[in-house]
């Protein structure tokens, strides 16, 4: 199989795998224990914390390990709501919190917010992105601020289109904007798709929280949450005092060690990774346009500021993206987010990004990786070409 779905998940890097195995053998002690095996496990965790912090330009104590992106995102949402109520108790005459986000967020943001609205525990404004660029206008976010606004959460890069969002503009706009909010507005970005592909620096972004997902950059399926020093953070559940009481439960030392190694590889090799993926992505576009009829292959937002590895490609024939992939048995790709695989309808993210529904239904997401080759791409495009011929027969390509 030729794998072109690296935005869904990545294989574990061989060096990360070695680190995990070494930790399984040598750092098996309980990190909370006071004797040597526990102390060793604790040192492995702290070394990984330092490496994750270095990857994003933060201090180590600002990194909390979690089970993954979903937990990290929901911890931020829960914290913002709790912090709002604490401020209300301090004298603000407000009833429920208000959160601002975009219409193109991942389900781990969108669905929890929709549940809060359904349960009447929060107000949420979903701001649309520009239909021609897929990029949100930060001024549109500022216009939605209310007296009870407590959180703005905006993904750093979209998992389907690859479009990078102007997260770094949020803080400067807030500083000059005459805010209507009477409570603290916290800033969060889900950086799951950006890490390992583009530079991510928390000081440049100037946000309060940032979500980290290991399996998106060749690490294990755990995550972390960056929380800016002195900003509020409240646990989702309670137990032992692990992770400074923010994330109870005996630490998963081997996976944390693996996450640290994956982060270290990003810190050391990001420029090389970026250049290779960008070159392979450009080559993929070139081969697609050469192989298919002129104007029958439409690459969404290809000229915009986007991830170096991601293409959202519509095949403008009388067939759907799902039908093409059903015939392209030897290609690992998707019609959008892996979370929506098999739902049988066009991606809401694409439609909310301004892609017409009929064209969204014909779209496939192709995302290259660190070791994708031109040979892989040549084979993949040939398979896609044959698949389109099979599903559109007797139409001519």
Rg (the chain; Cα; Å): 22
Q: Which of 81, 183, 291, 339 is catalytic?
A: 339
Contact between 278 and 368 under an 8 Å Cβ cutoff? The reply is no
Q: Is 339 a catalytic residue?
A: yes
Q: Which residue blocks in the chain are alpha helix, DSSP H?
A: 14-26, 36-56, 69-89, 107-118, 138-143, 170-176, 202-205, 253-291, 321-327, 348-352, 357-360, 374-392
Q: Do residues 370 and 357 lie in contact, with contact meaning Cβ atoms separated by under 8 Å?
A: no
Determine the distance from the C-alpha atom of residue 283 to the mean position of all C-alpha atoms in its chain, rounded to a whole number. 24
Tell me the three state secondary structure of residue 190. Answer: strand
d(CA 249, CA 244): 11
Beta-strand relationship, 63-66 and 223-227: antiparallel
Cα-based distances in Å from 194 to 156, 289, 306, 308: 7, 27, 10, 10
CA dist 303 and 256 (Å) reads 37
**Eight-class DSSP state of 96:** S
Rounded-to-integer distance, Cα 292 and Cα 51, Å: 45
Three-class DSSP labels, 176-213: HCCCCCCCCCEEEEECCCCCCCCCCCHHHHCCCEEEEE
H or E stretch covering 65: strand 63-66
DSSP SS3 for 314: strand
Active site residues: 339
């Amino acid at each position: 199989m030729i794998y072109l779905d690296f935005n869904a998940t990545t294989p574990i890097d061989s060096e990360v795998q070695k680190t995990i195995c070494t930790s399984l053998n040598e750092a098996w002690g309980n990190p909370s224990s006071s004797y040597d095996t526990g102390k060793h496990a604790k040192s492995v965790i702290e070394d990984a914390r330092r490496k994750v912090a270095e990857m994003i330009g933060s201090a180590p104590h600002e990194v909390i390990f979690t089970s993954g992106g979903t937990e990290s995102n929901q911890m931020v949402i829960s914290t913002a709501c709790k912090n709002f109520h604490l401020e209300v108790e301090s004298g603000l005459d407000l009833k429920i919190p208000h959160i601002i986000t975009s219409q193109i967020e991942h389900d781990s943001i969108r669905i929890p917010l929709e549940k809060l609205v359904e349960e009447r525990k929060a107000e949420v404004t979903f701001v649309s992105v520009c239909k021609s660029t897929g990029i949100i206008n930060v001024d549109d976010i500022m216009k939605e601020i209310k007296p009870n606004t407590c959180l703005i959460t905006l993904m750093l890069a979209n998992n389907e289109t690859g479009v990078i969002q102007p997260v770094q503009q949020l803080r400067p706009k807030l500083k000059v904007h005459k805010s209507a909010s009477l409570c603290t507005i916290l800033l969060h970005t889900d950086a799951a798709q950006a890490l390992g592909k583009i530079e991510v620096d928390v000081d440049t972004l100037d946000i309060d929280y940032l979500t980290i997902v290991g399996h998106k950059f060749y690490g294990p399926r755990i995550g972390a949450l960056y929380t800016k020093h002195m900003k509020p953070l409240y646990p989702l559940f309670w137990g032992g005092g692990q992770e400074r009481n923010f994330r109870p439960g005996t630490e998963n030392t081997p996976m944390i060690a693996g996450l640290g190694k994956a982060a270290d590889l990003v810190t050391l090799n990001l420029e090389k990774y970026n250049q290779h993926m960008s070159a392979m992505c450009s080559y993929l576009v070139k081969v697609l346009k050469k192989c298919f009829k002129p104007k029958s292959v439409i690459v969404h937002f290809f000229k915009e500021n986007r991830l170096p590895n991601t293409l959202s490609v519509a095949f403008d024939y009388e067939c759907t993206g799902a039908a093409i992939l059903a015939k392209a048995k030897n290609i690992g790709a998707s019609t959008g987010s892996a979370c929506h695989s098999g739902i049988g309808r066009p991606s809401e993210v694409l439609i909310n990004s301004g892609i017409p529904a009929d064209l969204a239904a014909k779209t496939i997401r192709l995302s290259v990786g660190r070791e994708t080759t031109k040979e892989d791409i040549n084979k993949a495009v040939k398979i896609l070409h044959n698949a389109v011929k099979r599903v559109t027969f007797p139409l001519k390509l």
